[in-house]
Amino acid sequence: MERCDAKELKKILRKEVRAKIESLDPEYCIQADRDIFKQVTELEAYKQGKAIFCFVGTKGEIDTAPIINHALSLGKQVAVPKCRSKGIMDARLIQSLSDLRVGFYGIMEPDEYAPCLGPEKVDLAIIPCLSCSSSGKRLGYGGGYYDRYLEHVTGLKAVICRRQIMRDDIPVEDHDQDVDLVICEENIWRLGENDLFVSGGNS
């Protein structure tokens, strides 16, 4: 049998991880998401950051509504993803989660009139994944939206993931973007050389 390339391996892993996510104990997910909220909001980059980019969690993903609401309550600029075309997204500012409507792929997103926040203005980007490794290898959904966007983000890039779906066998492709932090409910791994944070966690 010929060796699978990274793209094909990712397809296989996505199927495996989706099945794993479906099997997770709901009570575990609730508690893990609460602990991840605490990890994120105690980051120095979060406390000091004026502009936060955060994905809007959908079914099976980490519930990011508490993070978004908390950041808004502190008067921070909060931007969430909006898909513009195949593989392309930008960040749109919101004032409330009630600003969101069902958009691409059934994901909640702002309408087209919401103001943009340039990637160079993002202090902390909170990124989703299907799975990731503690070394920062991220398994996304296959559309390339986040890799294209993160290429232009100069602030701190953090991927959040429940510990039970993290795995070390994630292949890497040339277009995959590096992250500075991997955050789960149990730990924070500091990976990059970005000095926009001084925080707890293990490297």
How much is the average pLDDT of 71-87?
90
Tens-digit pLDDT profile for residues 83-101: 887 768 899 999 999 999 9
Q: Taking all residues of the chain, what is their mean pLDDT, rounded to a whole number?
A: 88
Say what the pLDDT of residue 87 is.
Answer: 64
Delimit the domains of the chain by residue range: 1-188
Gap between the Cα atoms of 19 and 145, Å rounded: 23
Tens-digit pLDDT profile for residues 120-171: 999 999 999 999 999 999 998 877 788 888 888 999 999 999 999 999 988 8
* 173 Cα distance to chain centroid: 18
Say what the pLDDT of residue 143 is.
Answer: 74
Say what the pLDDT of residue 155 is.
Answer: 93
Tens-digit pLDDT profile for residues 112-121: 899 999 999 9
How much is the average pLDDT of 20-43?
97
Confidence of residue 194 (pLDDT cuts 50, 70, 90): low
Q: Is the distance from CB of 175 to CB of 147 less than 8 angstroms?
A: yes
Query: pTM of whole model > 0.85?
Result: yes
Residue 202 has pLDDT above 50, yes or no: no
Residue 40 has pLDDT above 60, yes or no: yes
Helix (H) / strand (E) element for 7: namely helix 6-23
Residue 201 has pLDDT above 80, yes or no: no
Tens-digit pLDDT profile for residues 47-58: 999 999 999 998
Closest CA to 41 of 203, 199, 202: 199
Annotated binding site for substrate: 56, 61
Residue spans of beta strands (DSSP E) within 71-174:
77-85, 88-94, 101-102, 108-109, 124-127, 131-132, 138-139, 156-160
Annotated binding site: 10-14, 56, 61, 138-146
Annotated binding site for ATP: 10-14, 138-146
Tens-digit pLDDT profile for residues 9-22: 888 899 999 999 99
Residue with the bigger pLDDT between 184 and 103: it is: 184
1-188: CATH superfamily: NagB/RpiA/CoA transferase-like (3.40.50.10420)
